[in-house]
Amino acid sequence: MLIDLNETYNTINESRVLSTKDNTTNQNQFTNSRPKGILIQDTYNNPFFPIRPAPKIDTSKLNIGLIYERYRELYTETNPDFLPWHYCIEMVGDRYYAFNTRPIDLRFPINTADANINKDENPWIEWDNVTNLFFKEGIYDIRDAIHICLIGSSKLDIYTLDLYNVIGKICISPILRRYKLSSELYRRMFPLNMGRKFKFVNISKFIK
C-alpha cells in the first residue's frame, strides 16, 4: 500500500503554522516568562513536524536548505523566516554544526493542544516511552521549551562524541545558565521520539 506522505503530514497538522504564530511580536516571545525546558528531536521521526522522505541519513552534505524548503511546503501557509526549532544540528564535511534557525526568545510555533497529542485519533504516530511519558504527565507545554533538532533519523545515524559536545556546549549550557534551569537529565531536558542511536546520557559530559 502506497502512502501519500503529503496527505499524511497535512492530516497530522490540519491547523498549519500561521504567520501570526510565528512572528516576533510580544505574544510569541518569552517576554514575561522563561523557557521551562529543552526538548531534543530529529527531523525524520519528529513528533510535530516530520520531514520525510529525505534526508533520512545525515551525510556530510549540507541539508539545512532542504529542511527549510520541506517545512515551508508541508507545514506553513506563508514563507516564514524561521524553522520551528531553535537549533538544528547537522554534520557538514567531517564536523557537526549548530545552526540557530529560530530566535532564541521566540516560542515554538504550536502548543501541545495544537499538536493534537492523541494517539487514539492518530494511529500512525509511533512514540517511544519517554515521549509517551512526557505528554502523559504534562510536564510542560511544548511551546515553552527550547527545541533542538538533529537532521536525519536517530534510529539510523551513528553519532560521535563531537555531536554531544556541540549540543551540550553550544545549545544547552548557555540556556541552563541564562534561565537557571536544572542540568539533570529527564527533569527539564527530554529527548522526544529519539532512536536508540542517540545516547542522551552522553550530553551530561558536556554540560557546565
pLDDT band at 68 (very low <50, low <70, confident <90, very high): very high
For the segment 69-100, what is each residue's pLDDT rounded down to a tens digit? 999 988 887 778 899 999 999 999 999 999 99
Pick the residue with more confidence: 27 or 38? 38
**Is the pLDDT reported for residue 182 higher than 80?**
yes
With cell 521566540, the residue in question is 106
- Angle, alpha carbons 64-91-73 (nearest 5°): 20
Is the alpha carbon torsion for 94, 72, 79, 24 positive or negative?
A: negative
Contacts of 177 by beta carbon, 8 Å cutoff, 6+ apart:
none
Dihedrals phi, psi of 189, to nearest 5 degrees? -115, 130
Domains of the chain: 35-102+126-206 (3.40.80)
Q: Which amino acid is at 138?
A: G
Residue 108 confidence (pLDDT):
94
* Spatial distance between the Cα atoms of 80 and 127, rounded to a whole number of angstroms: 28
The residue count of the chain comes to: 208
Q: Rounded mean pLDDT of 41-46?
A: 94
**Is the pLDDT reported for residue 10 higher than 90?**
no
Residue 208 confidence (pLDDT):
80
pLDDT band at 133 (very low <50, low <70, confident <90, very high): confident
* Spatial distance between the Cα atoms of 75 and 10, rounded to a whole number of angstroms: 7
